[in-house]
Structure 1
Amino acid sequence: MVAFLFILTGATAFISAPPKGPAPVVIAYVGGFRGLVQNPSAIMVEKLTHINYAFVDVKNGRAWLTNEATDTVNFRELNALKLRNPALKILISIGGWAWSENFSDAVLTEDGRRLFAASAVDIVRRYMLDGVDIDWEYPGVPGEEGNIFRPEDKQNYTLMFKALRESLDSLQQQTGRSYQLTTAVGGGRYFTDHTEMANAQQYLNYVNIMSYDYKTNPTGIAGHHTNLYGSTKDTAESSAHRSVQIFMEAGVPAEKLVMGIAFYGRAWAMKDATARGLNQQALKGARGGGYTRLKDSLMNQGYVRHWDRRARAPYLFHPVQHIFVTFDDERSVRAKCKYVKKHKLAGVMFWEYSSDPKGYLLNTIHNAFN
């Protein structure tokens, strides 16, 4: 009888175990802005949930295929990858650093927002895609030199997503398919101060935090550009953890937040070997490059890899040439994936697929989530 009760109790406990939450998303930004996507059949789509196709431009108030001849080929070849992963979602990403100057004008009025939304969703419809990603850099504040921005962007950013969501829902009624709406966001408080993220998020499936490019000034302080935590005692230092906190405080639930991973490194030339370049004044920018290049080339050319325990981030330093390189590697990616699971975030995204064609980092993400 005791043995029977033990077995019964164990079986009951097994049956009543709470179900696991949704698997983390793995979103790859794939660049079509250069022209044809190189060797699309080599993309490891079995290890992805989404491809965000970068980028679609904004012109005359509409979403615009600037490179239509190659974009259409890319759409066809990316869609063909669903034969290997039927659950794959392919979204158009509109904007980016170079093509955000016309967002503010496009969504300034209700009629403008309807036109913009209709044009974006028409691209989704024509090429049988799965949704829209907005990469507006940045509402309400300067991005690239010459970008148009105004105070009204704060409310219009939200209203743009409302119009897009309505247009996608209308398409869903016609096709019976569901469509996703996401956005890429800057990782600092400047972004949440100039948007209404608590209101905007209700229309969004995911909010992709660009938790990289924290350091970009070629003559500024060289430091980590994609660190999980701060490397100093300064509580205001940029980090992925701080970015997550900022967006949660702004009203975005954890289950919609996606952490960014850099598949590339940034580099600076330093005046000497002080602190191996970390958090030191730089002389000028230097060549970084994609992770495959960093791993296969630089690490065999006199660069020494170091690990910042506080920041959970690696860096390279050349003791003779005094070049400092900041990047994500397998160890830092595992730390980010562990953070995502611990804090129940939606998943990870990365910029950009072609920077690591050998898949060192994507394989690490896949193994961490499986």
Structure 2
Amino acid sequence: KLSIINYAFVDVKGNRAFLTNEATDSINFRNLNELKKINPGLRIVISIGGWSWSENFSDAVLTDTARLAFAKSAAGIVAEYNLDGVDIDWEYPGIPGEDGNVYRREDKENFALMFRDCRKYLDSLKKITNKKYLLTTAVGGFPQFVDNADMKKSQEYLDYINLMTYDYHPKDIVSHHTNLFPSADFEKENSGDKAVKTFAKAGVPAHKLVVGMAFYGRSWFLDSTKTPVLKRKAVKQVRGGGYTFLKDSVVGKNGFAEYWDDKASAPYLYNDSTRQFITYDNERSVKEKCNYVKKYKLGGVMFWEYNSDPKLYLLTTAHENLDHQ
């Protein structure tokens, strides 16, 4: 059912792509490659960075020398373990991500130069193996990311741009976190559709854009029992849980009722007694995202993360609604 598996995450240390636990990683790479016996078209790609390991990107690509060393190290891991490409998940160039991350104005240009140099080394590897290597990136699905990254230049070197169209939640206001469209009366809020249009306007071709799905929920307790639920003040954030857990143990149980926001094409759960709200993707919203991808001839869908839905409810839905392509 999968075409690409991103192995998350590879760290960035001393301007190099770095395996933090090489013994375990090497076993995992071997096991993942074994899956190609079942699915010969499967591609295994290392994903570098992520929320927790993006603090050193800015330094790693600041100079030509550092950037080339980083690109060479990333391609080196691909070559050593017979993998199929590199994915960069820099959260975020030019703007704060996790506390303590280094970021600077030069990140915007260096973001594109990083992909240029990664493509250079992957293409050099292709001359040896005669195999085409993927180069992709996971990007924040909001306008501020585009403002601080040269996407028009970057896309020249990239096969796919994976839009992280999830975690759309204001700090203390209840809202959807992976909605395809904005809710009623909140047209300016972030959404999958807004992300697609923003990146397209920045110069990314539609066929390279991949829409993100969340295989997990986000949850808050609200300040009161007033209606409507959306846009109420949140007083405490709690674990939302993966979709298999939500579907099997929460939806329609212990006071949790499921609702559908027609405007946003997104579900949510609410428990009126405990005032707990959960936002997530379900089969219906995944189907809507797949239909959107087909309508606008986008590159596909991706999700975070596999172990959040071990019964494959959402992956099966996506597979069935993308015509098995």
Question: TM-score w.r.t. structure 2 length?
Answer: 0.98
Instruction: Give the Å deviation of 1:287.
Output: 2.0
State the match for 1:319 in structure 2. 272
The alignment of Structure 1 onto Structure 2 pairs a total of residues equal to 322
- The answer as to 2:253 corresponding to 1:310 is no
Listed one character per residue, the Cα deviations across residues 346-367 of structure 1 (whole Å, up to 9, x for unaligned) are 0000000000000000010011
Distance in 1 separating the partners of 2:21 and 2:302: 24
State the match for 2:200 in structure 1. 248
User: Which amino acid letter does the alignment assign opposite residue 5 of structure 2?
Assistant: I
Instruction: Give the Å deviation of 1:323.
Output: 0.1
State the match for 1:290 in structure 2. 242
Listed one character per residue, the Cα deviations across residues 54-87 of structure 1 (whole Å, up to 9, x for unaligned) are 0000001100001212111110100000000010
- Tell me: CA distance 1:289–1:276, structure 2 relative to 1, closer, same or farther (3 Å): farther
Instruction: Give the Å deviation of 1:250.
Output: 0.6
Does the Cα contact within 8 Å between 1:56 and 1:93 map onto a contact in 2?
Answer: yes
Q: Secondary structure at the match of 1:265?
A: strand
- The answer as to 2:227 corresponding to 1:275 is yes
Q: Secondary structure at the match of 1:202?
A: coil
Instruction: Give the Å deviation of 1:310.
Output: 0.5
State the match for 1:102 in structure 2. 56
Distance in 2 separating the partners of 1:89 and 1:275: 47
**Which of 333, 343, 348 is the aligned partner of 2:286?**
333
User: Which amino acid letter does the alignment assign opposite residue 343 of structure 1?
Assistant: Y
Instruction: Give the Å deviation of 1:277.
Output: 2.5
State the match for 1:64 in structure 2. 18
Q: Percent identity?
A: 57
Structure of larger gyration radius: 1
- The answer as to 2:77 corresponding to 1:123 is yes
Range that drifts further, 203-212 or 227-236: 227-236
Instruction: Summarize the alignment of residues 35-50 of structure 1 with structure 2, pairs less than 5 Å apart.
Output: 47-50=1-4
Q: Larger relative contact order (C-alpha < 8 A, sep ≥ 6)?
A: 1
Listed one character per residue, the Cα deviations across residues 319-343 of structure 1 (whole Å, up to 9, x for unaligned) are 1001000000000000000000000
User: Which amino acid letter does the alignment assign opposite residue 87 of structure 2?
Assistant: D
Instruction: Summarize the alignment of residues 144-155 of structure 1 with structure 2, pairs less than 5 Å apart.
Output: 144-155=98-109
Q: Secondary structure at the match of 2:212?
A: strand
Does the Cα contact within 8 Å between 1:257 and 1:347 map onto a contact in 2?
Answer: yes
**Which of 156, 171, 176 is the aligned partner of 2:125?**
171
User: Which amino acid letter does the alignment assign opposite residue 333 of structure 1?
Assistant: V
Distance in 1 separating the partners of 2:261 and 2:44: 36
Distance in 2 separating the partners of 1:271 and 1:330: 29
Consecutive unaligned residues of structure 1, counting only runs of 5 or more, are 1-46
Listed one character per residue, the Cα deviations across residues 174-232 of structure 1 (whole Å, up to 9, x for unaligned) are 11111010000001111100011011000000000000001062xx1011000000003
State the match for 2:147 in structure 1. 193
Listed one character per residue, the Cα deviations across residues 136-190 of structure 1 (whole Å, up to 9, x for unaligned) are 0000000000000000001000000000000000000011111010000001111
User: Which amino acid letter does the alignment assign opposite residue 323 of structure 1?
Assistant: Q
State the match for 1:234 in structure 2. 186
State the match for 2:112 in structure 1. 158
- The ranges of structure 1 where at least 4 consecutive aligned residues each deviate by more than 3 angstroms after the TM superposition are none
Distance in 2 separating the partners of 1:196 and 1:275: 42
State the match for 1:84 in structure 2. 38
Distance in 2 separating the partners of 1:192 and 1:208: 13
User: Which amino acid letter does the alignment assign opposite residue 233 of structure 2?
Assistant: Q
Distance in 2 separating the partners of 1:190 and 1:78: 35
Question: TM-score w.r.t. structure 1 length?
Answer: 0.86
Distance in 2 separating the partners of 1:235 and 1:276: 17
Listed one character per residue, the Cα deviations across residues 71-104 of structure 1 (whole Å, up to 9, x for unaligned) are 1111010000000001001100000000000000
Q: Secondary structure at the match of 2:194?
A: helix
Distance in 2 separating the partners of 1:144 and 1:324: 25
Instruction: Give the Å deviation of 1:302.
Output: 1.9
Q: Secondary structure at the match of 1:277?
A: coil
Distance in 2 separating the partners of 1:273 and 1:336: 31
Does the Cα contact within 8 Å between 1:278 and 1:324 map onto a contact in 2?
Answer: no
User: Which amino acid letter does the alignment assign opposite residue 270 of structure 1?
Assistant: L
Does the Cα contact within 8 Å between 2:208 and 2:298 map onto a contact in 1?
Answer: yes
Distance in 2 separating the partners of 1:353 and 1:226: 16
Q: Secondary structure at the match of 2:268?
A: strand
Distance in 1 separating the partners of 2:42 and 2:206: 22
